[in-house]
Structure 1
C-alpha cells in the first residue's frame, strides 16, 4: 500500500488536475490511497467567506460567488458536458454549505471554521475523483471524516488513534485506488480539522494505520533543498534526510515536513519521499531512518521580519529564573513566538515573530519593570551542519547582532544590508 499526497498547487487549475492523472498513470494506481488538498488558494478563499459569515460582513455573497465560480470554471475545463453527474455532486456540497450557514447558531469561531473550511477539500476530491473516472482511471472516493476520528479541539484536533486505526483497517480496500481529503477528521457528526500542515499529517495517519510501504508528497519542486531558492542563488537537493534531522530542521522553521507528519512514519519506519509532479524521472528526497543527510552539506533556514528584544533589570540585578519566567509568561500572553534565546548575567535576549501585531503592547507592559532595547525587521538565519564558510556567507549579508553556536547548529541575527 502506498500513500500519495497532492497539495493545492498540484490541483490549482484544469491542467494541473490533468497532470495528477498523468502522475497516477505513470506510477500505477493499484494499492494506492491519494490524499488531496483544497484547490489552489481555495483555503484562503474559504477563510474570507468564514470571516464574512461569522462577522456578518456585507461581502458574504461576493466571497461565496468567488468560490462557486472558481469550482464551476474548473468543471468546465475538465468535463465536456454540464449534464455530467459531477455538477449535481458539486451543487449538493454547496447546498450543504449554505444549509449550515442558515441553520448554525454557534458563536464558537473555531467550530464554525471547521464546519465550513473543509468544503474546499470535499469539492477538490469530488472533482478529481470524477475526472479520473471520466478518463478511465477507476477509483473510490472516501469521505475522510468517516475514517479519522478526533476530539473536539476544533482547528487543532487530536487523533483518537485506536478508533481511527480500527476503522481504517476495516473499511479501506487497499487493493484499489482511493481518493480522499487531507486536513479533515470528525468527532461524532461534527467536522474537525487537524491544524497546520494537516494534509501531510493525514497522509502520515493513513500510512501508519495501513502499514504502508511509503508516503510520497508531490510538489512543484524537485525535492527538499538545503536552502530557499528565493533567498539563496545556489541551492542543493538533499537526496536523503533522517527522520530526526527533518524534525530538527522543522523545529528551526524549515518548511520541510511538519514533525506531526514524521512521527507516525518514524514509529513504523515508513519512508517518506518528496518528489516533483512536473519531472517524474527525478527521485527527489527520501526521509528515512538511515543517513543523517546526503549529501552532508550546510542547510540554511531563514526567518525574516523578526524582532530582537534585549531585556535587563532596571536596578542592574542579575536576570535569573524569577524574572526570566515572568518575561516568558508575557511573551506567551502577547502571542510572540520565540525563535532564539540568549542570556547573560545582566540581560536576556529573544528573537520573536510578531504574527499578531502585539509587540507594542508587550513592549509597553514590560517597560514598567525592565530596560528594553529592540531591533525590528531583523533576519534570523539558522545553519544546520555549519562550517566557517557557511557562517561567513551569512555575515556578509549585514550587521551581525547575535551569534549563537552549538555542536550542529549556528544561529545569527542579522540587520540586513539594504541591497542584500
Structure 2
C-alpha cells in the first residue's frame, strides 16, 4: 500500500485538480490511499468565519464566498447537473446550521467543527473527479479511522484504536480521504494541528504498514533553505529520519513536525516530490546512512522573545522552572529555544493559540518579565564552524546558541 498526500496548493483550482490526475498517471494509482488538504486558502477563510462568529459580526457572507469558490472549481471539472454540486451546498448548509445551533463558548471546539469542512469538501471534489477520470477510488471519512482525545485544534492520537481501524481497510483498493482531521470518543471533529495533513498521511501509512509515503509539494523536494528567503539553496537528495525531524522541529515548513516519528517506527520510506514535475526523484527520507550533511537554513517567523527574572534576584531554581513551564503548558505555548543564567531565563516562544498576553500577565505574579513580539528564530543546521561570522552580519541578535554544529539565534 502506498500513501500520497496532496496539499492545498496542489488542488487550489480546477487546473490543479486536473494536474493531480496527471501525477497519478505518471506514478500509478494502484493500492493507494490519497490524503487531500483544503483547497488553496480555504482554511484561512474558514478561520475568518470562526473569528467573525465569536466577534458577533457577519460571517455568513464569508461562508457564501467560500462556497462560491468551490462551486467555481467544480464547474471547471464537472457537467452542470453533477451530484457534487449538491454535496458542496450540503457541506456549507451544515456549517451555517452548526453555527446557528451552537451553544458552546469553546473557541477551539467550534474552530474544529467549522474549519475541518475545508478538507471534507476538497476530498469529495477530488474523489469524484478521479472516479470520472478512470482513477477508481473510495471516499473515506478520516474521522471514522483516526481517533484522538478531545484536545481540540491539536488532538493527541489514540494509536491503538486508530491502527486497529485502519487495518480493517482493504489494501487492494484505492482511497481518497482528508488531511488534518480526526474525531474524539463522542465523534466530535478534532483537528491535528495547523498544516497537519502530512501527519494524517503518516498515521495512515503507519496503520497500513505502507510500502512508502509521498507528499507532493510545489518545490522539488526538501531544500537546504526556503528559496523564497535564501539564495543559492540546494536540493537534498537524501536525508535521515533524524535530520528531517530536527529540521521540522526547528521550523522547516516543508514537513510537519509530527510526520516523521510514525514513519521511522516502521521504517517506511518517505519522499517529498514536486507535483509540477513528478518525474523528478525529489528527496528521500530514510535511514541515517542516507543522510547528506549539507549546511541548511531555517527561518521561523512570528516568534516571541521573553526574559524572565526573579523579583528578589535569587537564582532561577527548579521550583521557578516548574512554575514557568506549568504556565506554558496551561496556555499551550511552545518553547522554540531557551537559555538560562543564574537569575534569568530567556525564552523564544511560539503562540499558536493567541494566549501570550494572558501567559505573561499570569507570570508577572511571581516574576519580572520583558516581552518582545514579532521576532524570528534563525537556525543553521550542519553549520561550518569556521564560517559562522557571516551569519551575524546585519542582524540584531537577542539570543544565540551553538550546539552540535547547529547555530540558532533569535533576531529582530
Is the shorter-chain TM-score for this pair beyond 0.5, marking a shared fold?
Answer: yes
Q: Which residue of 2 aligns with 1:418?
A: none
Equivalent positions of 1:234-383 (< 5 A) are 234-291=232-289, 293-294=291-292, 296-313=293-310, 316-329=313-326, 337-353=334-350, 378-383=375-380
Instruction: Decide whether aligned partners of structure 1 residues 389 and 6 sit closer, same or farther in structure 2, where only a CA change above 3 A counts.
Output: farther
Shift of 1:362: 6.3
Q: CA deviation at 1:108?
A: 3.0
**What residue in structure 2 maps to residue 75 of structure 1?**
74
For 1:78, what is the secondary structure of its paired residue? coil
Deviations 1:244-267 (Å, cap 9, x if unpaired)? 122222222222423422121111
What secondary structure does 1:204 align onto?
Answer: helix
Give how far 1:106 is off: 3.1
CA distance in 1, matches of 2:351, 2:101: 37
Q: How far is the alpha carbon of 1:65 from its aligned partner?
A: 0.6
- Give matches, 1:168-179, under 5 Å: 168-170=166-168, 172-179=169-176
1:387 maps onto 2:384 in alignment: yes
Give the Cα–Cα distance (whole angstroms) in 2 for the partners of residues 374 and 158 of structure 1.
30
Q: Please give the residue correspondences for 1:5-404 in structure 2 after superposition, counting only pairs within 5 Å.
A: 5-53=5-53, 55=54, 57-79=56-78, 81-170=79-168, 172-186=169-183, 187-291=185-289, 293-294=291-292, 296-313=293-310, 316-329=313-326, 337-353=334-350, 378-388=375-385, 390-404=387-401
Alignment check: 8 A CA contact 1:21 1:132 kept: yes
Q: 1:73 to 1:283 in 2, by over 3 A?
A: same
* Unmatched 5+ stretches in structure 1: 416-420
Change (3 A) 1:314 1:185: closer
CA shift, 1:318, in A, is: 3.5
Whether the aligned pair in 1 keeps the contact of 2:384 and 2:405 (CA below 8 Å) is no
Return 199-208 or 387-396, whichever deviates more.
387-396
- Structure 1 residues 391 and 111, CA, compared in 2 at 3 Å: closer, same or farther? same
2 CA distance for matches of 1:50 and 1:8? 20
Structure 1 pair 390/132, CA: closer, same or farther in 2 (3 Å)? farther
- TM-score when normalising by structure 2: 0.89
- Mark the CA change 1:26 to 1:405 in structure 2 (over 3 Å): closer, same or farther: same
Structure 1 counterpart SS, 2:17: helix
Task: Tell which deviates more after alignment, 155-164 or 323-332.
Answer: 323-332
- Give the distance between the partners of 2:114 and 2:361, measured in 1 at CA: 38
CA contact (8 A) 1:249 1:256 kept: no
Residues 116-136 of structure 1, C-alpha deviation per residue, up to 9 Å, x if partnerless?
222211111111111122222
- Alpha-carbon spacing, 1:408–1:152, altered in 2? closer, same or farther (3 Å): same
Q: Which moved more, 1:151-160 or 1:274-283?
A: 151-160
Q: By how many angstroms is 1:279 displaced?
A: 0.9
Query: C-alpha separation between the residues in 1 aligned to 2:264 and 2:367?
Result: 45
8 Å contact 2:205–2:263 — kept in the other structure? yes
CA distance 1:389–1:226, shift in 2 (3 Å): farther
Shift, 1:236, TM fit: 1.2
- Alignment RMSD: 2.7
Measured after TM superposition, the shift of residue 51 of structure 1 is 2.8
Give TM-score, length-normalised by structure 1: 0.88
Pick the structure with greater CA Rg. Answer: 1
| 1:298 Cα deviation after fit | 1.3
Q: 1:199 to 1:399 in 2, by over 3 A?
A: closer
The Cα offsets for residues 180-232 of structure 1, whole Å up to 9 and x where unpaired, read as: 11112223443222223321111111111111100000000011111122221
Task: Give per-residue Cα distances to partners, 1:54-93, cap 9 Å, x unaligned.
Answer: x2633222111111111111111112x3111222222232
Tell me: CA distance 1:58–1:189, structure 2 relative to 1, closer, same or farther (3 Å). same
Q: In structure 1, what is the Cα distance between the partners aligned to 2:76 and 2:119?
A: 19
**Size of the alignment, in residue pairs?**
411
For the Cα contact (< 8 Å) 1:397–1:414, is it kept in 2?
A: no
Are the equivalent residues in 1 in contact too, given 2:196–2:256 (CA < 8 A)?
A: no
